Amino acid sequence: MTIKQISIFIENRKNALAEFTNVLATHNINMRAMSLADTSDFGIARIIVDNAEQVQAALERSAYIVKVTPVIAIEIPDEAGSLNNILKILADNGRNVEYMYGFTGRKTNSAYMIIRCTDVPETEKVLENAGIRMVAQEELASI
């Protein structure tokens, strides 16, 4: 069970990030999560939204280079050690985490992690077998 992450290439220059978020605001797009990485020339914003197709189209119309990637979103208890337990399960099953980032939702006592791994289907099986709840794309609006 994957969700769609949108990666956006953004120039590393003054006001570029504000211009990007202005496109989102203009289209009434609410991000659930965001990760931003940069180099000297450009940055990559990774966002999670309720309606990835709509957001992808809006960004492409605004001349952004966009890529949609399947990632896994998991719900974890919002307590010390929860993430470590999951990472140990993944490591013990040979799964490599390429990158990850977290966010919180409206539920109390829950946090959410976005995980990009090699071999996503196999990683999903590992998480499912360990009883770790994965979040579906349709759930994003309600968490």
Q: How does pLDDT run across 126-137, given as a tens digit for each residue? A: 999 999 999 988
Q: How does pLDDT run across 65-99, given as a tens digit for each residue? A: 999 999 999 999 888 999 999 999 999 999 999 99
Residue 106 has pLDDT above 80, yes or no: no
Strand order in the sheet with 110-117: 31-38, 42-49, 3-11, 65-77, 110-117, 97-104
Looking at every residue in the chain, the average pLDDT score rounds to: 91
Measured CA to CA, the distance from residue 141 to residue 13 in angstroms comes to 32
Residue 108 has pLDDT above 90, yes or no: no
Measured CA to CA, the distance from residue 46 to residue 23 in angstroms comes to 15
